[in-house]
């Protein structure tokens, strides 16, 4: 269990960094769709992005609970961790299943900031959420694998050195268990761009540096394989639990930012001779959203603690992600509505945060798929797909 004083120190440290990156900084990056390089560099230099790298490799060896606190605090301060959070949620796959050689080769560089592990290539245009149907293949050829296919929504690929890639190594009709046949690779992308790997940015409603990545007869060394060939889906699933918990923490941070922003504004904004916050029609949506945020926060903390104890956090991670994403969206709606027309002006940051937090209803896993998980795996209802 984490010492609450240490978590409080982490909050203070992260908040101090965020003070150097006020709304104006994010507004400018957002308008230009620019990667927040200075922010990521500052977080790297502080060591916070290496929170989950064990001390023996130069990191701080902190728990997932501590990592969640770091990401929550970034969002609570109006910043956005999406430019660099992947390093935290992909770390588990490398730590749990990577070889000693892979850890020696990459973890010290990730810890000192000379290497970024920020790209996670799972989603494909045709398979979507149905990961087991993905079509990117990696075929063994001597000491290499040859990769062919396409990923979509591979965020930060242009600003990352390393990519964790999921590809099919055994055709679907030749595996015993439906979850077999997929493998995970850790690629140093800089070696491959222009040599069978092409990255194409996708412009979206938020500043997220997301891309399509194409593989055309890309030759990668067999030493890129993480763990055992064909078992990659399981490795990725355990990483996805960490991802859901960490994204949920970001949602809690967003929710706290929206609540603070909204309450400050409604106490100050005077219409019809009174602060608008005196009206219950303004108070209640904010109060309700606050209550939902507090409940979601408890589940997020519980899920992180389950993960840290080494137990299966599947149910809690999914529920935490759904409730936290709902809470951040609800608080965002209440905040935007309370700001009236000013909510739409870029200078207040409300519209930007509102757009950014909307993503979490869809990614990294959409609400429908979480409900389906709860129905099937927890409540034991029939499988629907
Ligand atoms: C900005 C952004 C960044 C992203 N970053 C990454 C990244 O770095 N790496 C990565 O691998 N992926 C990334 N993703 C992909 C993200 O994880 C997917 O978009 C998400 O998992 C949903 O998949 P999809 O878009 O293919 O939707 P689909 O699977 O096509 O689903 C579309 C809709 O149908 C619903 N649906 C589908 N099947 C069912 C069903 N059986 N029952 C009920 N409803 C269903 C879904 O809930 C969803 O609302 C990113 C996406 C975005 C938008």
Assigned token pair, 229: 């060939």
Q: Matching CATH topology for 4-115 and 118-230?
A: no
Is any ligand 1 atom within 6 A of the Cβ of residue 163?
no
Is any ligand 1 atom within 6 A of the Cβ of residue 78?
no
**Would you list the domain boundaries of the chain?**
4-115, 118-230, 234-378
Task: Report, at the CATH architecture level, how domain 118-230 is classified.
Answer: Beta Barrel (2.40)
Residue nearest to atom 9 of ligand 1 (CA): 154
The CATH code that applies to domain 4-115 is 1.10.540.10
pLDDT tens sequence for the chain (385 residues): 899 999 999 999 999 999 999 999 999 999 999 999 999 999 999 999 999 999 999 999 999 999 999 999 999 999 999 999 999 989 889 999 999 999 999 999 999 999 999 999 999 999 999 999 999 999 999 999 999 999 999 999 999 999 999 999 999 999 999 999 999 999 999 999 999 999 999 999 999 999 999 999 999 999 999 999 999 999 998 889 999 999 999 999 999 999 999 999 999 999 999 999 999 999 999 999 999 999 999 999 999 999 999 999 999 999 999 999 999 999 999 999 999 999 999 999 999 999 999 999 999 999 999 999 999 999 999 999 8
Please write the tens of the pLDDT for every residue from 287-299: 999 999 999 999 9
134-149: b or e for each residue (b if 16 or more CB lie within 10 Å)? bebbbeeeeebbbbbb
Task: Report, at the CATH architecture level, how domain 234-378 is classified.
Answer: Up-down Bundle (1.20)
- Catalytic residue, candidates 72, 73, 158, 243: 243
The residues near 355 (Cβ < 8 Å, ≥ 6 apart) are: 205, 206
């Amino acid at each position: 269990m984490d010492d609450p004083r240490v978590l409080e120190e982490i909050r203070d440290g992260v908040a101090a960094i965020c003070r150097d990156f006020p709304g104006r900084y994010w507004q400018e990056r957002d308008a230009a769709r620019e990667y927040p390089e200075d922010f990521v560099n500052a977080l790297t230099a502080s060591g916070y992005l290496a929170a989950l790298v064990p001390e023996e490799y130069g990191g701080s060896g902190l728990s997932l609970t501590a990592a969640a606190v770091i990401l929550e605090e970034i969002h609570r301060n109006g910043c956005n961790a999406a430019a660099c959070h992947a390093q935290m949620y992909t770390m588990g796959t490398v730590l749990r299943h990577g070889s000693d050689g892979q850890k020696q080769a990459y973890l010290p560089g990730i810890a000192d900031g000379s290497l970024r592990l920020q790209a996670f290539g799972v989603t494909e245009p045709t398979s979507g959420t149905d990961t087991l149907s993905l079509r990117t293949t990696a075929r063994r050829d001597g000491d290499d694998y040859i990769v062919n296919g396409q990923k979509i929504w591979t965020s930060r690929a242009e600003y990352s050195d390393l990519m964790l890639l999921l590809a099919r190594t055994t055709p679907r009709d030749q595996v015993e268990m439906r979850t077999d046949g997929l493998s995970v690779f850790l690629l140093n992308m800089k070696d491959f761009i222009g040599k069978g790997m092409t990255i194409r940015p996708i412009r979206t409603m938020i500043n997220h540096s997301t891309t399509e990545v194409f593989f055309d007869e890309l030759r990668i060394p067999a030493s890129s394989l993480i763990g055992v060939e064909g078992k990659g889906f399981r490795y990725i699933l355990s990483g996805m639990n960490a991802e859901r918990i960490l994204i949920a923490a970001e949602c809690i941070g967003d929710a706290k930012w929206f609540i603070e922003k909204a309450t400050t504004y409604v106490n100050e904004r005077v219409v019809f001779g009174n602060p608008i916050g005196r009206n219950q029609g303004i108070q209640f949506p904010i109060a309700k959203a606050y209550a939902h945020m507090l409940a979601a926060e408890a589940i997020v903390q519980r899920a992180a603690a389950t993960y840290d104890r080494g137990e299966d956090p599947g149910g809690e991670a999914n529920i935490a992600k759904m409730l936290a994403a709902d809470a951040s969206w609800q608080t965002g709606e209440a905040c935007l509505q309370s700001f009236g027309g000013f909510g739409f002006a870029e200078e207040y940051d409300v519209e930007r945060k509102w757009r950014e937090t909307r993503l979490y209803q869809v990614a990294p896993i959409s609400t429908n798929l979480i409900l389906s998980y709860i129905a099937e795996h927890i409540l034991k209802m029939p499988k629907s797909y």
